[in-house]
Structure 1
Amino acid sequence: MKKKCLRREPADHFRTRRVSLEQTVDGWNIQPVGQALTFSELQALRQTGKIERKGNTQIFANLGVSLQLVIKHKDRKALALVQQRDILKLVSGYVPEDQLDNPLQTAWAELMEEVLSVSDKGLFGFSVAEEVLPDPYQLQRQNWLPVLKAPFIGSLSEENLTFSGRSTEWPVNFYIHHETASLQLVFPVTIEVPDDVTLIHAEDEISESGQEVLSIFDPECPAILMELDQHSMPTGKLFTLNSGEWTLWKPGQAKLSEYFSGPGKQLSRHFLD
């Protein structure tokens, strides 16, 4: 496996909108607010850390989505993390404007973009309810691994949450990241991977010109596995998975993302110790 660019996109293609969170009789509803924002405008808004309040409604800079992705392999399991610079985080991303009413689409796109499952049989993709998830890189996939619903681990539990009145039909919860005034969704999933698998994280980076976003496949950039015990609690060890072998991984200066100081706090205590 060699390092290569899987996709190029104009850096200014992304658009999103602010979102409101309102408590309803049955739960919570999220819906878009205001005009479309460019990525630069979004970042400027997030840096203010300002959450607006109008009565019982809160208005956030943006909507983000994360996957609580539990990997099962050879009678072991782990929470999958990806490394972005010196931060270890859940598979996650910003929800674009056209998916704010159905952010589960964004979650599936991030899964396909960020986690590459490679074995001697080739590259695997993912499927949900026997529906193949679209391949953002147009690569040749040898097979498709089922993505299944899973219980939440940590302090989260399923919420009745709708998006402009629509349900995702998938377990979901949310938390507020106050520093960036953002509303963050979490969807719990589990995937059983082949015995001989290697898990690679494909990372997006800005080109030298600043005009493009490049999706880079680097075999030296693995997905990081936070091993879980039979009660779905961390064992205190991090691993990579290469050709079916679990290799102990040392975090060095890497830190856990804001999720692990919020709803995932009880998952992080072994790591921080």
Structure 2
Amino acid sequence: MPRTLIRKDPSSFKTLQLFVEASPEGLVYQSLGMPLNFAQMLEKRKPVTVADSQRFAVELANLGVSVRLTLSWQGREYWILVRQRRADRGDVVLKLISGYVPAHELNLPLLTAIQEVAEECLLETPEGWLSGRFGDTWLPTPYQSSLRYRETAHFSLSPLSGAARPVQCGNLKLLERPRAYVHLPTASLQLVYDLRLDLPKETRQLSLLHVDEHLEDGQLIARLNRARPDLFLIPLDQGRPTAELLTLKQGQLSPASTRGLWLAESFAPQEGWLVREERIRWKDWMAQTQKSPT
């Protein structure tokens, strides 16, 4: 039976629209207008058109972040994906860990990204749940009141190689060099951080579970459902994704079906700074990865 971990008031979330200027050399974004609450932001996420994929200026609804998280486990590396039922788009996809960037973190989206890891990706061991660190920064433990986090062991996040083209918030260059794209169907700017997750050496019988939030009766409810862990691994071979999809429970990897599977738009082809698709079929993405570098 799903376990409710926390309840939050969505009215506390505020973000800002963006003005984005892109060129072949880089992309610059800055905030625009008055703060928007969650409902107002969703209302702004309507399709936009851009004529030139490399050079343009456009107003967008919001900034989003994703984390392409690489897990090192027993000598192999895996990408971590989560399953999401997207009510606003009427579909179910596997996606990267991701979230909306609030107004006060628009100039530090990496902070939002690592907080999303703490909220969406739960690592359970027989001794308790693992908290994490990014460099000298402790990740939040958002479910402290419901789950027992270990005090003597934690996982570590570290940046992997960044994208080639720089991204700036105003005059501030984002040092971790996230990949950036404008998602035309939702009028949003998306930043994808490439991070690595290293476990404590003594980790055993590891289980990976996903916690997602759903809006119910005006509240955001975060639930943990052990019957549907909703967190998946794609094994890598020399850094490239393979055609397998796995789950990890109590240290045991099990295959998951990819039949009829869709991936979110961050896996779809990118043209210049633009992504035009809402989603991509697993089999089409696999064919695409065989042709081009990841």
Structure 2 counterpart of 1:205, which letter?
H
Give the C-alpha shift of residue 267 in structure 1: 9.2
- Structure 2 runs not aligned, ≥5 long: 86-91
Matches within 5 A, 1:115-130: 115-130=121-136
Correspondence for 2:60: 60
Which residue does 1:147 correspond to in 2?
Answer: 157
**Over 4 Å off, 4+ runs:** 23-26, 263-267, 270-273
TM-score (norm. length: structure 1): 0.87
Residue correspondence of structure 1 range 190-209 to structure 2 within 5 A: 190-193=196-199, 194-207=203-216
Instruction: Find the aligned partners of 1:25 and 1:184 in 2 and give their Cα distance.
Output: 17
Query: CA offset at residue 151 of structure 1?
Result: 2.9
CA pair 3-221 structure 1, distance change in 2 beyond 3 A: same
2: CA distance, partners of 1:82 / 1:119: 19
- TM, length-normalised to structure 2: 0.81
1:229 partner amino acid: D
Q: Deviations over 1:38-66 (max 9, x none)?
A: 212211211x212689x953221111100
Alignment of 1:1-273 (within 5 A): 3-23=2-22, 27-46=26-45, 48-50=46-48, 56-85=56-85, 86-138=92-144, 139-142=147-150, 143-151=153-161, 157-193=163-199, 194-207=203-216, 210-222=217-229, 223-230=231-238, 232-263=239-270, 268-269=285-286
CA distance in 1, matches of 2:56, 2:2: 50
The question of whether the paired residues in 1 share the 8 Å contact of 2:118 and 2:142 is answered with yes
Q: Aligned residues, how many?
A: 263
Return the offset for 1:192.
Answer: 2.3
- Whether contact under 8 Å (1:51, 1:60) holds in the other structure is no
CA distance in 1, matches of 2:3, 2:170: 39
Whether the aligned pair in 2 keeps the contact of 1:233 and 1:267 (CA below 8 Å) is no
Q: Which amino acid aligns with 2:214?
A: E
Q: Alignment identity in percent? A: 27
CA contact (8 A) 1:64 1:94 kept: yes
Where does structure 1 lack aligned partners over 5 or more consecutive residues?
A: none
Instruction: Say what the alpha-carbon RMSD is for the aligned residues.
Output: 2.7
